[in-house]
A and B are shown apart, each in its own frame.
Chain A
């Protein structure tokens, strides 16, 4: 099993809709998880950290479920500018382990 697995998508979603995707991980010793966003041919940029208690930043909500070993990202009221690849990242002893990313396409 890969350490971090994501559905590659693409998820085609109409503007204004809510979209959610999950990321599963192995090796539960990991302490920190992140969602990064990557636009085409650009560097990854941190979207948000993921905490056990869940965290919300505007339209974005991230959750961590340690028992089932997955993290999730929920985007509400999606905008055209949300179109990107969303990368799930696990921090294991300061080495970041990356998922392959989920491609999201928001359609007008």
Chain B
């Protein structure tokens, strides 16, 4: 069964450093998302990406964040100058859209900023 894969599964970084979280969505999917979930809290939308551009972003997704689809398969989230409060689980998701709008999630990257 096709799946969304994320790497790394766990990343520890020092405050102020830049991190890149990587995702390989399911190959025929058209919509891509990043979400984050701080431990014990709700899933929060960060950004959606369609047709090689950002289609929607939340107020959390400020200039500290950027997304790229550098080739036909990877979808990355870059966090510049990380802060302690960026520590969270980051989930990538993809979906085909159309009549089958189910979103498939990767297993997440646990980011710990120290």
Residues of A within 8 A of B (CB): 32, 34, 38, 41-46, 49, 87, 91, 93-101
User: Is B84 an interface position by the 8 A CB rule?
Assistant: no
Which of the residues A32, A34, A42, A96 comes within 8 Å of B33, measured between beta carbons?
A: A96
Q: Are A100 and B31 in contact (CB under 8 A)?
A: no
Q: Are A87 and B43 in contact (CB under 8 A)?
A: yes
Q: Are A91 and B45 in contact (CB under 8 A)?
A: no
Q: Are A95 and B56 in contact (CB under 8 A)?
A: yes
Q: Are A97 and B105 in contact (CB under 8 A)?
A: no
Which of the residues B42, B55, B91, B108 comes within 8 Å of A94, measured between beta carbons?
A: B55
**Complex-state Cα separation, A45 to B102, whole angstroms:** 10
Q: Are B48 and A95 in contact (CB under 8 A)?
A: yes
Which of the residues A34, A43, A93, A99 comes within 8 Å of B107, measured between beta carbons?
A: A43
Residues of B within 8 A of A (CB): 31, 33, 35, 41-45, 48, 50, 55-56, 89, 91, 93, 95, 97, 101-108
Q: Are B42 and A100 in contact (CB under 8 A)?
A: yes
Main secondary structure of the interface of A (DSSP, over half): strand
- Find chain B residues with CB under 8 A from A97 CB: 45
B33 → chain A closest CB, angstroms: 7
- Find chain B residues with CB under 8 A from A100 CB: 41-42
- Find chain A residues with CB under 8 A from B33 CB: 96
A32 → chain B closest CB, angstroms: 6
**Complex-state Cα separation, A44 to B93, whole angstroms:** 10
**Residue in B31, B50, B55, B105 with the greatest tally of chain A CB atoms within 10 Å:** B105
A39 → chain B closest CB, angstroms: 11
**Complex-state Cα separation, A8 to B110, whole angstroms:** 23
B8 → chain A closest CB, angstroms: 15
Q: Are A44 and B101 in contact (CB under 8 A)?
A: no
> Which residue of chain A has the shortest Cβ distance to B48 in the bound complex?
A95
The 3 closest A-B pairs by CB, nearest first: A43-B105, A100-B42, A98-B43
**Complex-state Cα separation, A38 to B103, whole angstroms:** 14
